Amino acid sequence: MLVDRYDPKSIEEKWQKFWEKSNAFDTVINRQKPEYYVLEMFPYPSGNLHMGHVRNYSIGDVVARFKSMQGYNVLHPMGWDAFGMPAENAAIKHGIHPAKWTMENIDNMRKQQKELGLSYDWDREVATCKDDYYRWTQELFLLFYKRGLATRKKAAVNWCNECNTVLANEQVIDGCCWRCDSEVVKKDLEQWFFKITDYADRLLEDLKELNGWPERVRTMQENWIGRSEGLEFAFDVPSIQDKISVYTTRHDTVYGVSYVVLAPEHPLVEKLIAGKTQANEVRTFVERVKNQTELQRTASDMEKEGIFTGEYAVHPLTGQQIPIWVANYVLFEYGTGAVMGVPAHDQRDWLFATKYNLAKKLVINSPAADLDIATMQAAYEEDGIMVNSDICNGLSNEQGKKVIADKMEELSIGSKKVNYRLRDWLVSRQRYWGAPIPMVYCQDCGTVPVPSEQLPVLLPENVNFANVAVSPLAQVEDFVNCTCPTCGKPARRETDTMDTFICSSWYYMRYTDPHNDKQPFAWDKVNYWMPVDQYIGGIEHAILHLLYSRFFTKVLKDAGLVNVNEPFKNLLTQGMVIKDGAKMSKSKGNVVSPEEIIAKYGADTARLFILFAAPPERDLEWSEQGVDGSFRFINRLWRIVEHYQADLNKGQCSYNPEELTANEKKLRYKAHHTVKRVTDDITLRFNFNTAISAIMELVNALYLHKEQNETINAGLIHEVISQLIRLLAPFIPHVTEELWNGTIDSDSSVHKQNWPEYAEDALEVSEVEIVIQFNGKLKEKIVMDAQLDAKQLEEAVLALEKVRNLLAGKTIIKIISVPKKLVNIVVK
């Protein structure tokens, strides 16, 4: 029995307890059913859920519950991306241990998630900071090492002074730290790298397979990988008996070279200036530029700076003397760290040559109008016809590219080359709260991996967080001093920890076998569930997490641990939650806390509002009236079901569709039509907002039906309300459970029901709107009997008075009649 007033608080607590006790969402492998893996990006345990989380999880929960009702075996897990800086900062600031801080936050956020009624299989929960998880992260690190994909090398790396640690390239956003937004500087350090560049071509190529990803994300990854096809060739520098290799994608302009530029970090710089009068001046320049950020060096609106080395190179095709410069805009890490300067055809070089008075030579002429270098105001970067280019004169520059590349290859001066913008992934961090890198340095044996059976390398608990200048682990003697696993002599342990993006690169596979203590996951389990069918998360991970996870999956596939090539088949990037025109965030002070909304209206209202207010991929504007409207809708739903409950309690009885009254037919049509619309909206587009508004219309139709009819067709009402409750179950799981339980069936859960299906015959409408055209132009729209065939329809239309009037004085040439749609009369 239903009470007469909707009371979210008692209902929600009751059903949450019930689901938990009955293990309602526990998942096991079941080969009788098709499987479906839906996943929301696991959160960092910051302490409290925000509306962005609520949105993310509500979307995932609808998909999970919908697919489950459709007969899929659904995996829907949740866990914690639990290592990382904020925990450590809390330790530094408030003296609370990162482990304690993290676990308390997890407890609180899990409680909040449970209050939202999310259908997670909690038995599969993982936290990356627990040793039963990071033990396997360490194992995977060793696997990368064994496969030659983890290497330690010295490089100029990104350093954040605020976070006191290095950062990967992907974590530097516009020259600033992704986490704290302070400026990133370069430091020469020895660090661990994952060789993601070995997979650059596959990461790029396989983007084509990802049809279920937003185009935007694929493009972002494509640009980040940045494949370019060019030519690498060398200029001789006789005075130092050496060569300068350059990489160019515009070798068609090679006859227009007027200088060669080295990156300040280039090893030849010192050799070129040794003993020269300007040596010190160049050195001062180099030191200054090295401290500039990459952004300062490359942004197009930043002034380029350079200095002449005093030396000349020999042009390989013309034999000309070419001055050698050093400039800030050449990056050491890209290509060969040196470029040929072609002022006439590269705007950056144009500005540089203008500033330093270097020669400009036109070698590509515009096909539209002759160019003159003396009057040009900017570089000509377009395609054109080659001039001043010896054997290539008269060719298109595309043809010229080929001729020059072939010639250089023939003369063994150069070779065609593919370059990627993608750099290796810097994975070591000088921080405490991460998975320790399982390596040991021994004087005799060198770098020695910790043997698998000695894992985990546990994080020591007693650590000094006060001295932030030195990595915390490096200050723990007991941790640092160890014995070499190979020779048993005293050795030193690696004190860096892993980038937390390593932990999050494989968690979705661990979910498939979370309690395995022999391996990261078992072959049969991971392959039963993988790939993730639907992944849902924020666009901010378009490159970072999503690229790393793709890389991980490919490496693990090569290592024979999993048999999929790509981890995430479909990706949905949800929009932001906006309030008063700005992203809802603490710093903007416009936060509405989920707890507050749940306390006031209940979780079902919060979920319904969030799902109804905007399609998942669009930004969602928070609105108090909207929340209130959702609450009122649930109340309305409650009252109509309550109104009919006596009839519903009788159980299902049959009705004969042929014997329905016109009003009953209309209601039946509306209900079945709604089932179709909602199913399509969810399946084809995840358009939850339009699905919900269709359901709202059905509720309106029920109210209208109630007003218009004194007699009740119990069979029909039972069918319609049973459909209605099931349609709403994925969106508002608590109240639908209560309604189902109180009226349709007190012995079963609505969430274990089949998704409603529609009967084709119910969709047949008795009347339809017919469009009447004259010579293809719309004249009238008239509601007519839907059963008319083409001939009958034509006759009926011609019999209409309006049509007869329109026809007066005209001759009919032809009539096109399409049943249920239109009649087009061709007249003269």
Residue 154 CB, nearest approach to ligand ANZ (Å): 19
Among 185, 445, 704, 800, binds Zn ion (CB under 5 A): 445
Asked if 484 is part of the footprint of Zn ion (rule: CB under 5 A), the reply reads yes
Tokens, residue 494: 């690696």
Site string for ligand ANZ, 232-251 (x = CB under 6 A): ---------------xxxx-
Selected binder of ligand ANZ within 8, 264, 306, 335 (CB under 6 A):
335
- At 812 the three-state DSSP class reads strand
339 binds, among ligand ANZ, Zn ion, none (CB under 5 to 8 A by kind): ligand ANZ
Count interface residues toward Zn ion (CB under 5 A): 6
Let me know: does 526 contact 562? Beta carbons within 8 Å.
Answer: yes
Q: Which residues does 99 contact at the CB level (< 8 Å), separation at least 6?
A: 87, 129, 461
**Residue 376 touches which of Zn ion, ligand ANZ, none (CB < 5 to 8 A by kind)?**
none
Stretch in the footprint of Zn ion (CB under 5 A) among 314-322, 484-492, 614-622, 648-656: 484-492
Which residue, 445 or 591, has its beta carbon nearer to Zn ion?
445
Q: Can you give the C-alpha Rg of the chain in angstroms?
A: 34
**With respect to ligand ANZ, which residue has the nearer C-beta, 71 or 267?**
267
* Residue 335 interacts with which of ligand ANZ, Zn ion, none, CB < 5 to 8 Å by class: ligand ANZ
315 interacts with ligand ANZ by CB under 6 A: no
Q: How far is CA 652 from the centre of its chain?
A: 46
| Among the residue ranges 363-371, 444-452, 678-686, 745-753, the one whose residues contact Zn ion (CB under 5 A) | 444-452
Is residue 349 within 8 Å of 342, Cβ to Cβ?
A: yes
CA-to-CA dists, residue 635 to 51, 97, 613, 624, 697, angstroms: 23, 46, 18, 17, 15
Selected range binding Zn ion among 1-9, 113-121, 359-367, 485-493, rule: CB under 5 A: 485-493
Helix (H) / strand (E) containing 194: strand 184-194
Q: Does 155 bind ligand ANZ (CB under 6 A)?
A: no
Distance, in Å, from the CA atom of 263 to the CA atom of 496, rounded to the nearest integer, reads: 30
In the complex, least distance from residue 325 CB atom to ligand ANZ, rounded to whole angstroms:
13
Are 171 and 500 in contact, with CB atoms under 8 Å apart?
A: no
Task: Give the nearest distance from C-beta 424 to ligand ANZ in angstroms.
Answer: 16
Select from 301-309, 330-338, 353-361, 448-456 the region that touches ligand ANZ (CB under 6 A).
330-338
484 binds, options Zn ion, ligand ANZ, none, Cβ within 5 to 8 A by partner type: Zn ion
Euclidean distance between CA atoms 566 and 206, whole angstroms:
8
Single residue of 122, 308, 334, 441 touching ligand ANZ by CB under 6 A: 334
Kindly tell me which residue out of 166, 210, 339, 641 binds ligand ANZ, with binding defined by CB under 6 A: 339
Residues 6+ apart with CB under 8 A from 743: 2, 641, 644, 645, 648, 649, 721
> In whole angstroms, how close is the CB of 299 to ligand ANZ at the nearest point?
13
Give the residue with the Cβ less far from ligand ANZ, 81 or 252: 252
Detail the DSSP E strand segments found in 580-725.
Answer: 582-583, 620-621
494 binds, among Zn ion, ligand ANZ, none (CB under 5 to 8 A by kind): none
Tell me whether residue 404 or residue 702 sits nearer to ligand ANZ (CB atom): 404
Residue closer to ligand ANZ by CB (options 249, 787) is 249
Name the amino acid, one letter, at 422.
L
**Binding characters for ligand ANZ, 716-735, by CB under 6 A (x = yes):** --------------------
Least gap, CB of 406 to ligand ANZ (angstroms): 18
Residues 250-279 that bind ligand ANZ (CB under 6 A): 250, 253, 263
Partner from ligand ANZ, Zn ion, none binding residue 340, C-beta < 5-8 Å depending on class: ligand ANZ
Q: Distance between CA 777 and CA 800 in Å, rounded? A: 18
Helix (H) or strand (E) holding 810: none
Number of residues that bind ligand ANZ (CB under 6 A): 20
- DSSP string for 212-279: BS-HHHHHHHHHHH-EEEEEEEEEEEGGGTEEEEEEES-GGGGGG--EEEE-TT-THHHHHHTT-TTH
Q: Are 752 and 761 in contact (CB under 8 A)?
A: no
Among 190, 201, 444, 596, binds Zn ion (CB under 5 A): 444
Positive or negative: CA dihedral 495, 501, 505, 511: positive
The residue within the footprint of Zn ion, chosen from 257, 269, 442, 648 (CB under 5 A), is 442
Judged by beta carbon distances under 5 to 8 A according to partner kind, the member of ligand ANZ, Zn ion, none in contact with residue 442 is: Zn ion
Q: Residue 661 belongs to what H/E stretch?
A: none
Compute CA distances 19 → 9, 354, 606, 733, 734, whole Å.
16, 73, 20, 11, 10
Rounded least distance, CB 616 to ligand ANZ, Å: 35
| Binding site residues, Zn ion, CB under 5 A | 442, 444-445, 484, 486-487
